[in-house]
Amino acid sequence: MDVAAVSLGLIQGVTEFLPVSSSGHLALFKAIAGYGEMTLSFDLVLHIATLMAVFLYFLNDIVLILFEWCYGFFNANARRWTGWRVGWAVIAGVAVTGPVGILLSPFAEEASVNMLWLGVNFLVTGALLLSSKFITEGNDGARMRNAWFIGLAQGVAVFPGVSRSGSTIWAGLALGLSRDEAFRFSFILSIPAIIGASLFEARKLGGIAEFMNSLPDGWLYAAIAAFVSGFLSLVILRRLITGAKWWVFSLYCVALGCVVVIYSMMGT
């Protein structure tokens, strides 16, 4: 078993959903541990593993939303159901996320190898999480008129160090969504975004044989670690958000950001 690969799987699973930025932590781990560049195939495997965790955790919500959204095309009364509203909100959010993410992707790649950028982005995430402590909880739901802003937050989170879950949940709360609705919509919105990004990156790969040969030793254990730790992270995060305690992650992000900034300025 490749310990480094499994470690990357655990980091991916834990930090993908907790509001601390998985891409930022993976970049730090590779830089500090000297793991080297993660192969595209391995990166895709880890993202698929955490995506499966989202599917399992939100399976009932996903099935209900899909049913109500599809049924809304045939029944006018169904257009008053939650699934119809959330379905269109997801489409609106992804329509913004895609172009923004593609536009910022080249800059995000440069930031992933720049420790100063990483540190500053962790500080930005910390500031967002801390400010959420002062946002009064609303009772609105995700809908097309507010989903674009959440989609924008998701697109900007392509930068390593900027938490996707933290940014989108913060945006939802700022727009007046309830804590549980902001949590749910954040991760349901992530599903098409992750699938789209994975397909976009997969174009660079060759056939199945080349894909499998480029995977490191221990990739299966790493994927299992990412799936299990990702699912547990969702359980923990939901409890913290509904209990209005998720802002405590800001302390970690600010502390980590300061350390990384100082580390980069020392030139080590």
Contact 176, 149 (CB under 8 A): no
Torsion sign over Cα 206, 94, 114, 261: negative
CA geometry: angle 82, 100, 47, nearest 5 deg: 70
Mean per-residue pLDDT over the chain, rounded = 86
Amino acid at 215: L
For residues 80 and 132, is the Cβ–Cβ distance under 8 A? no
Q: Domain count of the chain?
A: 1
Per the structure, the complete domain to which residue 88 belongs is given by 3-265
Please check the confidence at residue 206 and state whether its pLDDT lies above 70: no
* Rounded CA separation 27/50 (Å): 18
What mean pLDDT comes out for the span 204-227? Answer: 74
pLDDT band of residue 208 (cuts 50, 70, 90) is low
Q: Which residue do the tokens 């970049």 mark?
A: 27
What is the pLDDT, as a whole number, of residue 147?
93
The predicted structure's pLDDT at residue 211: 62
Per-residue pLDDT tens digits for 37-95:
556 677 778 888 999 999 999 999 999 999 999 999 999 999 999 999 999 999 999 99
Q: Which one is predicted more confidently, 139 or 54?
A: 54
